[in-house]
């Protein structure tokens, strides 16, 4: 068990990071911290994916000079996928940050707990 | 294509009621002619359908095995539809006069005619699914009638009515799903659809029967689901009389007849002893209904509890599973309809003329309205079951049925309940005739003819059926012979 | 043959039109662009349906790359039915929005609204059609951004907050979904659903834990997005604060695309035989049942009408999860049928309520006596509500009936009670709205018949939806057979 974890330290690290990100996203009331948590979570998935594609002692899949055959290169697909993943994550972050700025303008705080409280008052009025 | 004729009595009222909603009548007279001719033409349609001897059936639309709107005519359907459309004529005349004092006549008559079509639909349903649909529609169509007054009390009662009805319908749906899963067939066939008994778990059959019985029992005011009925008394009198006498409660009873004799079949019910468990509920219904009726001050409420108890009689006739009892039950279904409608009409007439609602207020009213209260008394006698009225005939058959089924207890309960009936209905007659001041003939305040004539005619029917029951009796016996 | 290109074409048309919108100046032009592109998608989808009817389902290679490397679309009967449903409902909602958009959305943002709707529908179609997990993930993310966009477009305080809540939970959901893909990729080395499926059939015994983890990640991840019961907390805020046309799209289509994705993953990626060995289906069954009941209970407690309908969506999604959780083919078929019936019904309800709210207010008590002023609108609402409650012939009844039969098939008789209880609860919150609308006395006074009713022209899209509801009810047999046939 222990050996397996140590041998696959990329994956282990990725899962730990994922957990950290997940908890940050869920537990923190501060919106900025939530967004940071989301980024950590995404990064963890990227790490996991790319480590799946990486094979030791092989080169990046770029042909220089002679083509070394399939055995010579790592699996390029996960890397390519994660490029898309990063783009998606960045746009998500941008959107979330944009909304956070709006929230701060409207409510004067980025603490979700306080915002929810204000909202309770509003509901009583209506 | 002869099957189409089955649709006329069904859709004619529905279409005319919708048309009624859009037409603007020049005068009240024109409206009244429209109303009465609608109802009478529909009666003729029903007779036309009944006269054809061959069995007619018609698939209105069939989507798949269960989603099948299917109409079929058999004798019991004819009995129920004739009863409904005949009594509807009397009620129409009565309510044209009565409703002139209430508001929103138009809305009333739209739903009034609509309900007739739906009731005929229940009578002619050829399978359980069609029956269920019309049963739900009946709730929706009668709901605006119940809350007609629009007061807070009326809305509360309406809510109660809806909650009870839909709970019942949900039970029915559950029963239908389970039934469909074991039989794959929900058509009404004499002696039932469950032919292959051995392969089916008998407990499951019992459970399904109980679920369906309780589900339809809600509309049939089975104790403990009866309390919507007295609450629904806030409705205008013609509505109460129809709800009680024909449309709603009798539809519940009719549906129970359908499931007992046409889905499960008497043999199956006997075998799984469904009748045994049900009869406890039914006996409670009879006794509790009478006992509760004893101390109701409001006249309509007293009659409502009386309905609960009388419906118990009919159900008792059904669950004893022998032909005499069933004859008695069906006969009482007809007789009680006529009797109850008279009683309600009389009470309505009193309210219409004097605004009095409770027993203590009507002292001496018999001297002011001798004809009305005379009819009331005859109906009351019939309700108790004293010859020569029709109530006696049906109770006689019920009692014989009880003895034939070796259940003497039932016959005793019938007698006991007859006593209770006398105890709650006779005080009204006594208060009306033997208390209060004498009144000169000029001060008589009989209701207008359009209200009085239906009452007198119906009373005539009560006596006629008491003296010459054979006409109806033979017809009912021909029904029972084929299904027990 | 050319019909094979249509599914990709619909997605492309919608996306390209949406990119043109910002450079168009005239308000009329981009509205036209939006409705025309959506209408064209409906036509293309219908012709694909006809093609599939005669030639059977097919795989479409995007860019002519062969399967494991290139992206594939899998177009079968179910996909195309859902595709038609999405585009049709969307076109009707867009049509309706022409008359209501000015009152609900700031003027300068209207063009972005149509842009977002086009992107949203394109990405939803992508989710439905795609046969590639990662491709689906990208579409899911795009649809999340777009659907957050159509909520926040109103630019009010509550909208921003509701959107943020929605966005955060959606991101959580997509994070879990992506992690699920990572796990499944790590054992199969493929992203194409068909290839994963073939691979899994051989190796699933070796990797039981990994499969369980990825199943759980997919279920929870998509569960968040499609409002599975305890994860639904974002839904009432987002759906009730959005403009009514957005609410209609979100409730009717967006939730459905995610749940359909879940069905695809369970069925096409893992296959029922594998899934049945894990307790995931039981989880879905139980959460679905709880959702069916508590969604309705919570709806009963609401005062704001849009929140009532939003919670009702939670309950209805519960039915769909319940059907999946039964784990037999009838249950799955009816879940998909319920996707169709609920999409039509819920969009009708939201649009009808939207036009009532324009005239009165957002609380239930404001709607008393509305039937006098807007009889047609309330009539439409009534038909929708009847379908929800399960009045026969309407599709809501059909799905409940078949859900019950599927329950009996799976011999889980106790759950019959859940179905019946939940339909009773539906009646408890829909009937008072109708009754108070038609018969609520105190407010009827002083109201003039039809005084606030919208002109027929503006109600026409909703009327068409209503007719659609009834047609789906009447022709249920054909639809259910078609779904069932192509499920296997």
pLDDT tens digits, one per residue of B58-75: 777 776 667 788 888 888
Section B241-267 average pLDDT:
84
Rounded to a whole number of angstroms, the distance from the CA of C177 to the nearest CA of chain A is 10
Query: What is the average per-residue pLDDT within C387-411?
Result: 88
- Give mean pLDDT, residues B372-399: 87
CA separation for the pair C27, C105 (Å, rounded): 14
SS3 A68: coil
Mean pLDDT score, B255-272: 85
Q: Do A96 and C160 touch (CB under 8 A)?
A: no
Query: Considering Cα of C205, then C209, then C211, then C215, what sign does the dihedral take?
Result: positive
Q: Do C161 and A126 touch (CB under 8 A)?
A: no
Burial class (CB in 10 A: 0-12, 13-18, 19+), B453: middle
What is the domain extent for residue B463?
273-310+317-484
Chain C residue closest in CA terms to A109: C161
Residue C269 is given by DSSP the state: I
Q: How many residues does chain A have?
A: 126
Q: Is the pLDDT of residue A123 over 50?
A: no
pLDDT tens digit string along B409-451? 888 888 888 889 999 888 888 888 887 777 777 777 788 888 8
Whether residue A7 is predicted with pLDDT greater than 90 in this model: the reply is no
Measure in Å the smallest separation between the Cα of C404 and chain B Cα atoms. 7
Confidence band, pLDDT 50/70/90 cuts, at residue C340: very high
State the nearest Cα–Cα gap between A3 and chain C, in angstroms.
18
pLDDT over threshold 70, residue C222: yes
Region A9-15: what's the mean pLDDT? 87
Whether B67 sits inside 8 A of C476 (CB atoms) is: yes
Helix (H, G, I), strand (E, B) or coil at A73: strand
Q: Which helix (H) or strand (E) holds A53?
A: helix A31-53
Chains contacting C (3 or more CB pairs within 8 Å): A, B
Q: What is the pLDDT of residues B284-336, one digit of tens each?
A: 888 888 888 888 888 888 888 888 888 888 888 888 878 888 888 898 998 89
Q: What is the 3-state secondary structure (H, E, C) of C105-169?
A: CCHHHHHHHHHHHHHHHHHHHHHHHECEHHHHHHHHHHHHHHHHHHHHCCCCHHHHHHHHHHHHH
- B224 upstream amide cis, omega within 30 of 0: yes
| Alpha carbon distance B303, B289 (integer Å) | 10
CA C386/CA C433 separation, integer angstroms:
12
For every residue of C173-214, DSSP letters joined together read HHHHHHHHHHHHHHHH---BHHHHHHHHHHHTTTTHHHHHHH
Write down the mean pLDDT value for chain A: 83
Q: Which chain A residues in 93-122 lie under 8 Å from chain C, judged by CB atoms? A: 95-96, 99-100, 102-103, 106-107, 112, 115, 119, 122
Total domain count, chain B: 1
Nearest CA in chain C to B169: C424
Contact C401, B177 (CB under 8 A): yes
Region B362-374: mean pLDDT is 85
Q: Quick check: A121 pLDDT over 60?
A: no
Which of the four pLDDT bands, split at 50, 70 and 90, describes residue B31? Answer: confident
Cα B6 from Cα B58, distance rounded (Å)? 7
Report the residue from A81, A99, A126 with minimal CB separation from C164.
A99
**CA contacts within 13 A on the Cβ side of C315:** 31
CA gap C338, C85 in Å, rounded: 12
Compute CA distances C400 → B165, B331, C322, whole Å. 19, 39, 11
Q: Cβ separation of A45 and C178 shorter than 8 Å?
A: yes
Query: Closest by alpha carbon to B326, among B397, B248, B249?
Result: B397
CA distance linking residue B378 with residue B466, whole number of Å: 11
How far is C-alpha B167 from the chain's CA centre? 20
What ipTM was reported for this prediction? 0.89
Task: Specify the pLDDT at position B240.
Answer: 83
C-alpha angle C433-C475-C49 in degrees, rounded to nearest 5: 115
Interface subset of B 119-158, CB within 8 angstroms of C: 129, 132-133, 136, 143-144, 147, 150-151, 155, 158
pLDDT in tens, B337-356: 999 899 999 988 888 888 88
Report yes or no on B188 lying in a domain: no
Side-chain half-sphere CA neighbours of C286 within 13 A: 4
CB contact at 8 A, C215 and C280: yes
Please state the three-class secondary structure of chain B as a single string.
CHHHHHHHHHHHHHHHHHHHHHCCCCCHHHHHHHHHHHHHHHHHHHHHHHHCCCCCEEEEEECCCCCEEEEECCHHHHHHHHHHHHHHHHHHHHHHHHHHHCCCHHHHHHHHHHHHHHHHHHHHECEHHHHHHHHHHHHHHHHHHHCCCCCHHHHHHHHHHHHHHHHHHHHHHHHHHHHHHHHCCCECCCCCCCCCCCCCCHHHHHHHHHHHHHHHHHHCCCCCCCCHHHHHHHCCHHHHHHHHHCHHHHHHHHHHHHHHHHHHCHHHHHHHCHHHHHHHHHHHHHHHHHHHHHCCCEHHHHHHHHHHHHHHHHHHHHHCCCHHHHHHHHHHHHHHHHHHHHHHHHHHHHHHHHCCCEHHHHCCHHHHCHHHHHHHHHHHHHHHCCCCCHHHHHHHHHHHHHHHCCCHHHHHHHHHHHHHHHHHHHHHHHHHHHCCCCCCHHHCCCCCHHHHHHHHHHHHHHHHHHHCCHHHHHHHHHHHHHHC
User: Domain A2-125, what fold?
Assistant: Helix Hairpins (1.10.287)
Q: Which residue among C69, C137, C168 places its CB closest to the CB of A34?
A: C168
Task: Please give the pLDDT value at position B395.
Answer: 87
Interface B–C counts its CB contacts (< 8 A) at: 55
CA-CA distance, C435 to B378, in Å (whole number)?
A: 41
User: How far apart are alpha carbons C68 and C45 in whole angstroms?
Assistant: 26
Whole-number Å distance between alpha carbons of C179 and C173: 10
Percent of chain C with pLDDT over 70: 97
CA distance readout (Å), C380 to C249, C348, C377, C383: 18, 7, 5, 5
pTM value is 0.86
| From C408, C435, C476, residue closest to B63, measured CB to CB | C476
Alpha carbon distance B62, B70 (integer Å): 8
Is A12 in CB contact (< 8 Å) with chain C?
Answer: no
A106 Cα to chain C: minimum distance (Å): 6
pLDDT at B106 over 50: yes
Q: Phi-psi category of A57—alpha, beta or left, where left has phi over 0 and alpha has psi -120 to 50?
A: left
B partners (3+ CB pairs within 8 A) are C
CA C351, CA C204: separation in Å to the nearest integer?
47
What is the model's pLDDT at position A119? 60
CB contact under 8 A, A122 and C158: yes
The closest of B186, B174, B172, B176 to B72, measured between CA atoms, is B186
Of C408, C432, C435, Cβ closest to residue B181: C408
Residue B346 vs residues B89, B237, B336: alpha-carbon distances, Å: 17, 10, 15
Take residue C164 and report the two structure tokens written for it: 């943020």
Residue B203 lies in a domain: no
Please check whether residue C479 is in contact with residue C50, taking contact to mean a CB–CB distance below 8 angstroms. no
Q: Give the one of B147, B180, B181 whose C-beta lies nearest to C439's C-beta.
A: B147
> Is B133 within 8 Å of C393 when comparing Cβ atoms?
yes
**Averaged pLDDT, B146-164:** 84
Contact residues for B50 (Cβ-Cβ < 8 A; gap 6+)? B73, B78, B81, B82
pLDDT computed for residue A125 by the predictor: 35
Does residue A81 surpass a pLDDT of 70? yes
Rounded to an integer, the average pLDDT of C402-410 is 89
Contact criterion met (CB < 8 Å) for C163 and A34: no
Q: Give the chain C residue whose CA is nearest to the CA of A122.
A: C158
CA B355 to CA B445: how far, in whole Å? 12
Q: Is the pLDDT of residue A126 over 50?
A: no
Residue in B66, B155, B166 nearest the CB of C424: B166
Q: What pLDDT does A124 receive?
A: 37
**C133, C72 contact by CB (below 8 A):** no
Q: Each residue of C31-54: pLDDT tens digit? A: 888 999 999 999 999 999 999 989
C382: distance to nearest CA of chain A, Å? 26
Percent of chain B at pLDDT above 70?
96
Residue A97: what pLDDT? 93
**Out of C392, C424, C427, whose CB is closest to B133?**
C392
Looking at chain B from residue 444 to 473, which residues have their Cβ under 8 Å from any Cβ of chain C?
none
Residue C352, H or E segment? helix C329-359
């Amino acid at each position: 068990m222990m050996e397996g974890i140590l041998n696959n330290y990329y994956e282990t690290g990725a899962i730990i990071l994922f957990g950290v990100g997940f908890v940050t996203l869920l537990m923190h009331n501060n919106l900025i911290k939530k967004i940071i948590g989301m980024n950590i979570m995404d990064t963890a998935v990227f790490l996991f994916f790319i480590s799946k594609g990486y094979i030791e002692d092989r080169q990046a899949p770029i042909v220089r000079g002679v083509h070394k055959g399939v055995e010579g290169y790592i699996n390029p697909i996960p890397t390519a996928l994660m490029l898309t993943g990063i783009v998606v994550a960045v746009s998500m972050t941008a959107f979330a940050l944009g909304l956070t700025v709006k929230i701060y303008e409207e409510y004067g705080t980025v603490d979700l707990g306080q915002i929810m409280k204000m909202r309770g008052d509003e509901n009583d009025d209506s | 294509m002869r099957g189409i004729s089955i649709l006329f009595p069904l859709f004619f009222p529905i279409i005319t009621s919708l048309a009624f909603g859009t037409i603007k009548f020049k005068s009240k007279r024109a409206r009244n002619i429209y109303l009465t001719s609608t109802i009478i033409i529909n009666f003729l349609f029903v007779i036309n359908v009944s006269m054809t001897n061959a069995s007619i059936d018609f698939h209105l639309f069939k989507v798949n095995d269960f989603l099948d709107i299917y109409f079929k005519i058999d004798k019991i359907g004819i009995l129920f539809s004739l009863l409904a459309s005949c009594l509807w004529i009397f009620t129409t005349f009565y309510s044209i006069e009565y409703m002139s004092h209430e508001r929103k006549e138009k809305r009333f008559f739209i739903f009034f005619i609509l309900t007739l079509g739906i009731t005929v639909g229940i009578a002619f349903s050829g399978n359980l699914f069609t029956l269920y649909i019309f049963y739900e529609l009946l709730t929706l169509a009668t709901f605006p009638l119940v809350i007609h007054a629009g007061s807070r009390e009326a809305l509360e009662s309406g809510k109660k009515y809806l909650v009870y009805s839909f709970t019942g319908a949900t039970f029915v749906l559950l029963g239908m799903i389970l039934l469909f899963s074991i039989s794959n067939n929900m058509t009404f066939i004499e002696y039932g659809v469950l032919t292959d008994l051995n392969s089916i778990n008998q407990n499951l059959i019992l459970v399904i029967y109980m679920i369906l019985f309780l589900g339809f029992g809600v509309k049939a005011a089975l104790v403990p689901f009866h309390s919507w009925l007295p609450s629904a008394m806030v409705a205008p009198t013609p509505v109460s009389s129809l709800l009680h006498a024909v449309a709603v409660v009798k539809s519940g009873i009719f549906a129970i007849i359908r499931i007992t004799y046409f889905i499960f079949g008497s043999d199956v019910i006997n075998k799984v002893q469904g009748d045994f468990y049900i009869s406890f509920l039914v006996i409670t219904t009879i006794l509790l209904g009478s006992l509760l009726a004893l101390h109701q001050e409001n006249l309509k409420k007293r009659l409502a509890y009386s309905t609960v108890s009388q419906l118990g009689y009919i159900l008792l006739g059904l669950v004893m599973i022998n032909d005499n009892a069933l004859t008695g039950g069906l006969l009482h279904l007809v007789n009680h309809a006529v009797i109850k409608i008279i009683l309600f009409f009389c009470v309505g007439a009193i309210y219409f003329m004097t605004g009095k609602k409770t027993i203590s207020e009507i002292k001496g009213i018999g001297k002011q309205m001798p004809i009305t209260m005379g009819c009331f008394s005859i109906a009351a006698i019939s309700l108790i079951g004293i010859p020569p009225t029709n109530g006696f005939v049906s109770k006689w058959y019920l009692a014989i049925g009880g003895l034939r089924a070796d259940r003497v207890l039932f016959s005793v309960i019938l007698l006991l309940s007859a006593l209770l009936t006398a105890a709650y209905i006779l005080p009204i007659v006594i208060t009306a005739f033997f208390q209060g001041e004498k009144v000169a003939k000029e001060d008589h305040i009989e209701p207008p003819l359009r209200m009085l004539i239906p009452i007198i005619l119906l009373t005539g029917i009560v006596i006629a059926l008491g003296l010459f029951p054979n006409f109806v009796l033979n017809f009912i016996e021909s029904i029972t012979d084929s299904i027990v | 043959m050319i019909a094979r290109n249509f599914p990709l074409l619909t997605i492309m048309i919608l996306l390209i039109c949406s990119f043109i919108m910002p450079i168009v100046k005239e308000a009329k032009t981009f509205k036209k662009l939006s409705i025309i592109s959506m209408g064209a998608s409906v036509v293309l989808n219908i012709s694909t349906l006809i093609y599939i009817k005669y030639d059977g389902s097919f795989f479409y290679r995007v860019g002519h790359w062969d399967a494991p490397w290139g992206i594939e679309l899998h177009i079968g009967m179910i996909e195309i039915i859902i595709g038609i449903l999405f585009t049709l409902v969307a076109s009707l909602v867009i049509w309706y929005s022409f008359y209501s958009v000015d009152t609900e959305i700031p003027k300068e943002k209207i063009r972005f609204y149509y842009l977002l709707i086009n992107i949203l529908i394109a990405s939803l179609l992508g989710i439905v059609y795609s046969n590639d997990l990662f491709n689906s993930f990208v579409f899911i993310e795009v649809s999340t951004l777009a659907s957050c966009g159509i909520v926040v477009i109103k630019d009010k305080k509550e909208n921003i907050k509701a959107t943020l809540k929605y966005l955060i939970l959606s991101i959580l959901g997509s994070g879990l979904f992506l992690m699920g893909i990572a796990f499944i990729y790590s054992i199969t080395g493929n992203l194409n659903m068909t290839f994963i499926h073939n691979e899994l059939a051989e190796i699933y015994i070796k990797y039981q834990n990994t499969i369980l983890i990825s199943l759980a990640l997919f279920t929870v991840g998509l569960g968040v997005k499609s409002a599975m019961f305890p994860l639904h907390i974002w839904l009432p805020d987002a759906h009730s604060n959005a403009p009514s046309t957005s609410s209609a799209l979100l409730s009717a289509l967006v939730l459905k695309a995610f749940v359909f994705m879940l069905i695809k993953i369970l069925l096409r990626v893992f296959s029922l035989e594998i899934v049945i060995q894990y307790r995931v289906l039981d989880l879905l069954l139980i959460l679905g049942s709880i959702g069916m009941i508590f969604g309705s209970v919570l709806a009963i407690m609401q005062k704001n009408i849009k929140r009532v309908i939003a919670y009702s969506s939670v309950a209805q999604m519960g039915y769909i999860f319940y059907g999946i959780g039964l784990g037999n083919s009838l249950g799955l078929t009816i879940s998909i049928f319920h996707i169709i019936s609920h999409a039509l019904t819920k969009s009708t309800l939201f649009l009808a309520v939207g036009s009532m709210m324009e005239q009165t207010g957002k609380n239930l008590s404001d709607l008393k006596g509305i039937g006098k002023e807007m009889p047609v609108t309330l009539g439409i609402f009534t038909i929708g509500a009847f379908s929800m409650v399960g009045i026969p012939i309407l599709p809501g009844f059909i799905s409940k009936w078949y859900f019950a039969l599927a329950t009996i098939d799976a011999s889980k008789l106790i759950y019959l009670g859940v179905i019946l209880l939940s339909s009773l609860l539906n009646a408890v919150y829909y009937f008072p709205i109708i009754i108070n609308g038609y018969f609520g006395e105190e407010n009827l006074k002083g109201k003039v018949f039809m005084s606030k009713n919208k002109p027929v022209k503006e109600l026409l899209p909703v009327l068409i939806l209503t007719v659609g509801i009834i047609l789906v009810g009447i022709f249920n047999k054909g639809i259910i057979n078609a779904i069932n046939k192509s499920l296997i």
